[in-house]
Amino acid sequence: MHGLQPRQIRLLTDRFIANLKAMGNKRITHSMKSILLFSSLLVVTILCGCHKNLAGEKPLLVGMDLSYPPFETIDATGNPSGVSVALAQALGESLHRPVKIENIPFTGLIPSLLTGKIDLIISSMTDTKEREKTIAFSDPYLTIGLAVLAGKKLKLAGINDLDRSGCIIAVRQGTTGQVWAQSHLKSAQILVLDKESSAVLEVIQGKAHGFLYDQMSVWKNHQEHPQETVALLEPLQRESWAIGLRPGDAVLRDQVNGFIKSYRESGGFDRLGDTYLKEQKEAFAKAGIPFYF
């Protein structure tokens, strides 16, 4: 929206004067005309100032690790894309704030939040008791299970076969897969890697028996490598994803929770699933596995 030009202001003022004359006020002096012109300028200035304030609303800084498609990724044009990006944009619209996505490695998200570099985290982050000691979480927006991508070169009979001597289990650093493995696997070797792709490669090449990750990613990676992998989708545990916030941001947390509730009621999460996860939804329905949102 552009400001009015002087000529437009004069036209509006003259039209206002003409209307006054039509109402029977014949004595419009030059002085009164100047006052009306000044008043018009003042009104326009106030309106433009209000517009400027709205347009310059403080951006909502959202941290996410853009290496986890289809939830957080970068599209062919180099822009952030995926389920979490669409969710962040919808949240920004709800709060009437422009959204700026900050691409941060997963292990750096919580430190970035606590130091004020970002306002919140939307990055497929599980709400855990351990994380709750450091940050606050919104109401959950997605429920998913921790599963296993097993390799065909190194036989893994099932999830009960994970914890045995000589078994190598890959996990991604900073994830609940790593936490679960360190808590439950006493005999197996735990291989900690910083990228999902690296862990998948270990399984494909037969260097690891399995990779602990969420059900959706396990299914997706198996679809991409059906000859080398097996998807063990029976959940080791159920997990809830939520939006991470600073503990003291109670107002923002209430706003986020209100958005999640209304977004779910309006079918927003269903639309996200149909847009980004249609194949997964159909496959899980056929297998009788509960879907996420």
- According to CATH, the superfamily of the domain at 60-141+242-287 is Periplasmic binding protein-like II (3.40.190.10)
Q: pTM for the complete prediction?
A: 0.74
**243: nearest Cα among 96, 98, 97, 90:** 90
CATH 3.40.190.10, domain 145-238, yes or no: yes
Domain spans in the chain, listed from the N-terminal domain onward = 6-55, 60-141+242-287, 145-238
- Per-residue pLDDT at 29: 53
Series of mean pLDDT values for 10-residue runs along the chain (293 residues) = 46 55 53 49 44 64 95 96 97 97 97 98 95 97 93 81 92 95 95 96 96 93 95 91 97 98 96 91 82 73
**126: nearest Cα among 185, 72, 177:** 177
Tell me which residue has tokens 């941001």: 249
